[in-house]
Chains A and B, each alone.
Chain A
Amino acid sequence: MIKASTNLAPALEAILGASHVLYDPAARATYAVDEIIPSAVAIPASAEQVAEIVRFAALEKLALIPCGARTKLRIGMPPSRYDIALDMTALNQIVHYDPGDLTLSAGTGTPIAKLNATLFEHHQFLPLLVPWYSHSTIGGTIASGIDSPLRQFYGTARDFLIGAEFVTGSGALTKSGGRVVKNVTGYDFHKLLIGSLGTLAVITRLNFRTFPAPLAGSRGFVASFPTAEGALALRGAIAQSPLTPLTFDVVSPGLAQIFSEKTPAATEAAVFSGEARNANHSTLAPIGDWFHPHEWQLCAAFAGTREVLDRYRRDFTRFAGESRATSTAFLDDTTRPSMWGRLRETLSVLLESSPATIIFKLSALPSHHVALFAKLQEIANHASLAHAFVARAGGTIYFALLPPSANAEATTHLAQAATQILNSVSAAGGDTTLLFASPALKRALCASDGHAGPGINIGCSSRSDPPLMHRLKSAFDPENIFAPGRFLSCLP
């Protein structure tokens, strides 16, 4: 797979200086994507250097994959080519922040945690509480399209990313949007970067709208149910009420058990105004006995003044009674973080829970969830596979199969179950994305011609829009040098 251009080393060193290019096999191996190791790692220090590298790569037809903290590089299909890893972590400065405008512009390699530490000084934050929180960069988070439990209240990055600067496949430093919160000047290219896995452009800078951090004195709420129907009924009641909780997620018994038994390696993250200074960098506390490992739970968080907190307490208690919760608990600032940290880190916790975890992102309307939950469990049980999942209020489900071991037989078995899941979600009018799986399983799910099956990455046969996505990819990256094959796997 290593396609070493004879020009590679001198060209990269001429652009970056020798100390910013890595060839050492051990170093390169840490940049592997689905077991494919790049020939070199380039660590640019500026957007201009990125553009130079891209121009060189376009000329030499070398494949590039940009990366940040490399926590989510496993998302996507195996790349068809991969010559240079572009380590963007040196572009890690906050370029512009005016607290009075609630807007911020920062280099793509800026860790979210670092950025939020600055924002918290002004009682603001960026509501991207994503897994691997303490390492994740803003660029990697945007490119991977990973969401946060807070999307319930604040929306996804699509709702607060207001501009970007990026390098196109022809090596042009380009931008869209701006630093104002309302703007319709030109095409919204920055939205296309969300979830693009580095296949359209190399992001160099991102502009966000920031938000007032919720008040300290927030509360958590957990209600337990013997059946999914009960938890979903409570979720429906909250959704139809005037309440606007920050999060409300339904946790399956399988995930509840993992949450109870395992403490993720992640640290606690400050979320609320006033917490920042004494942010607790220790690992998360064990979850309390208010959490029932073998039941369905609805977990919510809310914030506000004392009157508002009282209102939530009253209404939640009433709704939980009406939906026949077996128990309910209100969490305070000492107990809430143990639940929030786990919900935030769900993906990393699931990956740690099995040697061969596969995780799907399923998107289906909330009204289909009762039937879909039943179908998903039936598929997993029939295949004798442990499973765990969380469903966000808006309809996004992170569903994991947890096989006890990784081997060829397990791969075949998993591929069958995966296909059934895709078909079930599709029948419910939903969409499936395979987020995390072994390279072997990803390949097994591809058709014999090497193209991904319907819906596994982007449903190349079940949707009418992939041809438009191809046109877009060609417009941004005419030489197909950005992460080829990783996304839109029907592309060559």
Chain B
Amino acid sequence: MNSGLVREFEKLLGPSSVLYRPEDLLLYEYDGSVEKGRPDLVVFPDSTDDVSRIAKLAAKYNVPIVGRGAGTGLSGGALARTGGVMLVFARMNRILELDIENQRAIVQPGVVNYELTRAAEPHGLYFAPDPSSWKSCTIGGNVAENAGGPHTLAYGVTTNHVTALELVLPGGEIVRVGSRHGDTPGYDLTGLFVGSEGTLALVTEITVKLSRKPEAVKTLLAIFDSVDDAADTVVDITARAITPAACEMLDGWTLRAVEDYIHAGFPMDSAAVLLIEVESLTETVATQATAITEVCNAHHAREVRVARDNAERDLLWKGRKNAFGALGRLAPSNYVLDGVIPRSKLPQALRRIRQIGDQYGFQIGNIFHAGDGNLHPIVLYDPRDAAQFQRALKASAEIIRYCVEVGGALTGEHGVGMEKSELMPLLFSDADFDLMRRVHDAFNPDASLNPGKIFPLSKGCGEIRVRPQTSSRRSAA
């Protein structure tokens, strides 16, 4: 990188807010995905004004900017695909306001998801979106990717909980969209920017809704001797219009790995378990738990356990939320996919995933948000074996293709990012891309913000030239 640019950034932010040495940049070339892309410079703004000044300086030198929260994303959204300046929001991590009466919070983008819930909890409130990475991921990252989580089945994903944003546009202009009340006149710009994966603007402040904690919670663990029975149970719960707060499935292979590590109480000899949670009034929860137990039994559940207390409930959820970490014990690396299907197609989708695994020689585990049809097949691989990694990518693409074939979509909550940009034509026509490009260019005309994301490289925005040295897939780390 141009040393003059480094000096200008140091002058702008101070030397402690700029990283440029190769050994420092290495830490920022990966996220939770299998992708890789190294920035030329990493900067740490303290304020919206800093972000605006960074954007102006980057524009002056015509270098791209990529926003980044905690780097836990799973689609390469926060990677510098074409190099440039990485803007890390780690220091913009203050909760600016808790408005208890109106159930709103105003936060900076670097606030960790769980920290907001912790701050709101004494008032009986919490922030509903709960991705598995909630103890480390930031709300800014949640907004960029429109993150989900287990409990979004009942409460909706990030976009359903964001009412306003402060944005910095590529030229450094600061704009506010939406409103604290959430019923803003005009086009729903907030709805457009949430989930736009950092390709339209940098988000510097977020107003979110806080939800009231339910009076009662029941957590059920339904144990099955066949994956098909577990899948049929989910279909039936949906068809009977019972809406649990969460409905997660772990297949036998995955849960054994988890149990070995976390000892959550998952039975080692089962084929699949469903972790189902119901939340509401005490009176409602009792009825719903009974109804769900009946459905599970109708589909040959071996046993339906109800967590006796919070400790047992927390342990079950710990097993679910730390599952990906547990799988790290089995192989050097794992590739967590994210596809979504109409919920009624769940049994056949799980069978098809097994077939694809057999075909490519992988044991593919499944631990996912079954209630909303959001699949997370996990392919274990060794990144040192290039041929195996390529096979893993092929198997993964085939699974995602299948999701589209049965009426689903490419991604339920991880985003398109770098990971799936080339698969986008499976769903979208040239006319669709044309509108996406026009809207993209309306806000980010020079593709200076997060270039190389969402759009297939062949249908990209502006002049995106991917540097060969940073586009390579992640190798042995």
User: Which residues of A line the B interface, CB within 8 A?
Assistant: 98-103, 123-124, 155, 158-159, 168, 170, 172-176, 178-189, 191-192, 194-196, 200, 211-212, 236, 240, 242-244, 304-305, 307-308, 310-311, 361, 363-367, 394-396, 429-433, 455, 457-459, 463-469, 471-476, 478, 487-488
Which chain B residue shows the least CB distance to A194?
B188
Contacts A168-B435, A431-B181, A475-B439 given: A181-B343 contact, CB under 8 Å?
A: yes
A89 and B434 alpha carbons, distance in the complex (Å): 28
Which chain B residue shows the least CB distance to A273?
B241
Q: Which of the residues B180, B191, B340 comes within 8 Å of A158, measured between beta carbons?
A: B191
Contacts A123-B241, A395-B181, A431-B179 given: A187-B192 contact, CB under 8 Å?
A: yes
A472 nearest CB across to chain B (Å): 6
Contact at A430–B188, with CB atoms within 8 Å? Answer: no
How many contacts between A and B, using CB within 8 angstroms? 246
List chain B residues, Cβ under 8 A from A99: 239
List chain B residues, Cβ under 8 A from A186: 416, 424, 427-428, 432, 436, 454
Which chain B residue shows the least CB distance to A364?
B181
Which chain A residue shows the least CB distance to B164?
A465
Contact at A180–B412, with CB atoms within 8 Å? Answer: yes
* B29-37, B83-91, B277-285, B463-471: which lies at the interface: B277-285
List chain B residues, Cβ under 8 A from A188: 146, 159, 191-192, 194-195
A433 and B175 alpha carbons, distance in the complex (Å): 21
Contact at B183–A431, with CB atoms within 8 Å? Answer: yes
List chain A residues, Cβ under 8 A from B187: 192, 195-196, 200, 469, 472-473
Of all A-B residue pairs in the complex, the 4 with the closest CB atoms, nearest first, are: A212-B241, A191-B191, A242-B215, A363-B183
New contact pairs (15) apart from A308-B281, A308-B283, A366-B102, CB-CB < 8 Å = A98-B342, A100-B344, A158-B160, A170-B434, A180-B372, A180-B407, A182-B373, A187-B196, A304-B284, A361-B185, A365-B102, A473-B187, A475-B441, A476-B435, A487-B186
A459 nearest CB across to chain B (Å): 7
Contacts A186-B427, A186-B436, A366-B102 given: A311-B195 contact, CB under 8 Å?
A: no
Which chain A residue shows the least CB distance to B145?
A184
27 residue pairs of the A-B complex, CB under 8 angstroms, read: A101-B343, A102-B241, A158-B191, A170-B434, A182-B152, A182-B374, A186-B432, A187-B454, A188-B191, A191-B188, A212-B243, A310-B283, A311-B282, A365-B102, A367-B99, A394-B181, A395-B102, A395-B183, A431-B179, A431-B183, A433-B185, A465-B177, A468-B177, A468-B189, A468-B443, A472-B187, A472-B192
Which chain B residue shows the least CB distance to A487?
B186
Q: Which of the residues A172, A240, A308, A488 comes within 8 Å of B431, measured between beta carbons?
A: A172
List chain B residues, Cβ under 8 A from A396: 181, 183
Whether, in the assembled complex, B414 has its beta carbon less than 8 Å from a beta carbon of chain A, the answer is: yes
Contacts A188-B195, A192-B192, A308-B284 given: A469-B186 contact, CB under 8 Å?
A: yes
Contact at B434–A184, with CB atoms within 8 Å? Answer: no
User: Which residues of B line the A interface, CB within 8 A?
Assistant: 99, 101-102, 104, 124, 145-146, 148, 152, 156-157, 159-160, 174-177, 179-189, 191-192, 194-196, 212, 214-215, 235, 238-239, 241-243, 280-284, 286-287, 340-344, 369, 372-374, 407-416, 420, 424, 427-429, 431-432, 434-436, 438-439, 441-443, 454
Contact at A431–B454, with CB atoms within 8 Å? Answer: no
Contact at A173–B175, with CB atoms within 8 Å? Answer: no
Contacts A304-B283, A474-B442 given: A182-B340 contact, CB under 8 Å?
A: yes
Q: Of residues A187, A455, A466, A476, which shows the largest number of chain B Cβ atoms within 10 Å of its Cβ?
A: A187
Which chain B residue shows the least CB distance to A433?
B185
A465 and B186 alpha carbons, distance in the complex (Å): 9
B441 nearest CB across to chain A (Å): 7
Contact at B186–A187, with CB atoms within 8 Å? Answer: no
A475 and B441 alpha carbons, distance in the complex (Å): 8
A183 and B427 alpha carbons, distance in the complex (Å): 12
List chain A residues, Cβ under 8 A from B195: 184, 187-188
Contact at A174–B435, with CB atoms within 8 Å? Answer: yes
List chain A residues, Cβ under 8 A from B182: 363, 394-395
A165 nearest CB across to chain B (Å): 10
B406 nearest CB across to chain A (Å): 10
Q: Which of the residues A155, A187, A211, A366 comes within 8 Å of B436, measured between beta carbons?
A: A187
A429 and B102 alpha carbons, distance in the complex (Å): 13
A463 and B243 alpha carbons, distance in the complex (Å): 39
B305 nearest CB across to chain A (Å): 24
B449 nearest CB across to chain A (Å): 14
Which chain A residue shows the least CB distance to B160?
A159
List chain A residues, Cβ under 8 A from B415: 184
A170 and B407 alpha carbons, distance in the complex (Å): 28
Which chain A residue shows the least CB distance to B158?
A184
A308 nearest CB across to chain B (Å): 5
B339 nearest CB across to chain A (Å): 10
List chain B residues, Cβ under 8 A from A124: 241
Q: Which of the residues A159, A236, A305 comes within 8 Å of B287, measured between beta carbons?
A: A305
Q: Which of the residues B124, B212, B238, B283 comes within 8 Å of A101, measured between beta carbons?
A: B238
Contact at B342–A101, with CB atoms within 8 Å? Answer: yes
List chain A residues, Cβ under 8 A from B156: 155, 159
A205 and B439 alpha carbons, distance in the complex (Å): 21
Contact at A475–B186, with CB atoms within 8 Å? Answer: no
Contacts A158-B191, A181-B373, A186-B424 given: A432-B185 contact, CB under 8 Å?
A: yes
A225 nearest CB across to chain B (Å): 20
Contacts A172-B434, A365-B180, A465-B177 given: A183-B409 contact, CB under 8 Å?
A: yes
A158 and B177 alpha carbons, distance in the complex (Å): 16
B31 nearest CB across to chain A (Å): 16
Contacts A98-B342, A194-B188, A242-B281 given: A179-B101 contact, CB under 8 Å?
A: no
List chain B residues, Cβ under 8 A from A100: 235, 238-239, 343-344
A469 and B435 alpha carbons, distance in the complex (Å): 15
List chain B residues, Cβ under 8 A from A98: 342, 344
Q: Which of the residues B145, B175, B341 comes within 8 Å of A180, measured between beta carbons?
A: B341
Contacts A102-B238, A488-B186 given: A182-B438 contact, CB under 8 Å?
A: no
List chain B residues, Cβ under 8 A from A457: 185
A311 and B195 alpha carbons, distance in the complex (Å): 39
A181 and B441 alpha carbons, distance in the complex (Å): 28
List chain A residues, Cβ under 8 A from B413: 182, 184
Contact at B212–A242, with CB atoms within 8 Å? Answer: yes
Q: Of residues A101, A124, A195, A212, which shows the largest number of chain B Cβ atoms within 10 Å of its Cβ?
A: A101
Q: Which of the residues A179, A185, A211, A361 comes within 8 Å of B411, measured between beta carbons?
A: A185
Contact at B189–A469, with CB atoms within 8 Å? Answer: yes
B148 nearest CB across to chain A (Å): 6
A142 and B183 alpha carbons, distance in the complex (Å): 14
